[in-house]
């Protein structure tokens, strides 16, 4: 792909999905597997349900609210300090070893060029905020987790960052910066999933990144760029 410096006065926006886009794994799925390994959850039952929800996501049939009720429950079951300790271990054992140079380079090229960049993911903010920081991304649009007095309730807050919700949440994030999509001459969204079609359709440069079969077919039909980071 061509990463030339922008002409004077041009504003660029680069948005990145996370799971199977910048990472060759699903961070939410692997977080649950990690919790099972450290004994924080009932591994067999959680894995069975986790696998079922992953298949629903891949098929485009996932009920996000049902899934979040299941997936956020462990955050309410343990003190925040313990969750933070586990997440440090998770970063060391699971996430950092999975990050590949091609993904780091993609993000770095946009950042070094001065593009406004954000990680836009359906995975919750607790899991993904340290991952965004690992990629050098200061902006995160993720599913927000409700907290009371610093403790997670296990419920989402506001609109989940999923399908059309990614568009809603990205608009809100840009508005918080005093910006809007219309203010950018060029915009990218990198994603692997057909679930991200609403946001892919909004940017000027949708990039099917390590695409699933349905997104690969759609990208071919529409002439969208295809990027395979992990081959």
Active site residue 52: no
**Residue among 19, 28, 192, 212 flagged as catalytic:** 19
26 assigned to active site: no
Dist. CA 117–CA 96, nearest whole Å? 20
In this structure, are residues 17 and 190 in contact, taking their beta carbons and an 8 Å threshold? yes
Quickly count: other Cβ atoms within 10 Å of residue 48's Cβ. Answer: 10
- Cβ atoms < 10 Å from Cβ of 64: 21
- In whole angstroms, how far apart are CA 13 and each of 7, 81, 133, 184? 14, 35, 18, 7
Return d(Cα 44, Cα 195) in angstroms, integer: 28
**Distance from C-alpha of 50 to C-alpha of 44, rounded to nearest angstrom:** 10
Angle at 177 between CA 122 and CA 65, to 5 degrees: 20
Catalytic residues: 17, 19
């Amino acid at each position: 792909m061509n990463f030339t410096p922008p002409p004077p006065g041009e504003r660029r926006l680069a948005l990145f999905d996370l799971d199977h886009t910048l990472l060759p794994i699903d961070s939410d799925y692997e977080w649950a597997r990690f919790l099972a390994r450290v004994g924080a959850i009932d591994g067999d039952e959680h894995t069975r349900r986790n696998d079922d929800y992953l298949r629903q996501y891949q098929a485009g049939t996932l009920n996000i609210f049902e899934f979040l009720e299941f997936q956020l429950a462990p955050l309410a079951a343990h003190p925040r300090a313990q969750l933070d300790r586990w997440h440090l271990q998770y970063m060391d054992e699971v996430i950092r070893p999975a990050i590949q140079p091609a993904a780091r380079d993609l993000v770095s090229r946009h950042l070094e060029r001065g593009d406004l960049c954000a990680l836009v993911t359906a995975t919750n903010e607790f899991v993904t905020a340290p991952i965004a920081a690992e990629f050098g991304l200061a902006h995160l649009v993720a599913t927000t987790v409700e907290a009371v007095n610093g403790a997670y309730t296990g419920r989402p807050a506001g609109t989940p960052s999923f399908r059309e919700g990614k568009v809603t949440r990205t608009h809100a994030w840009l508005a918080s910066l005093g910006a809007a999509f219309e203010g950018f001459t060029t915009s990218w969204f990198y994603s692997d999933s057909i679930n991200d079609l609403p946001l892919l359709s909004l940017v000027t440069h949708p990039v099917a990144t390590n695409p699933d079969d349905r997104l690969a077919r759609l990208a071919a039909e529409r002439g969208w760029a295809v990027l395979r980071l992990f081959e």
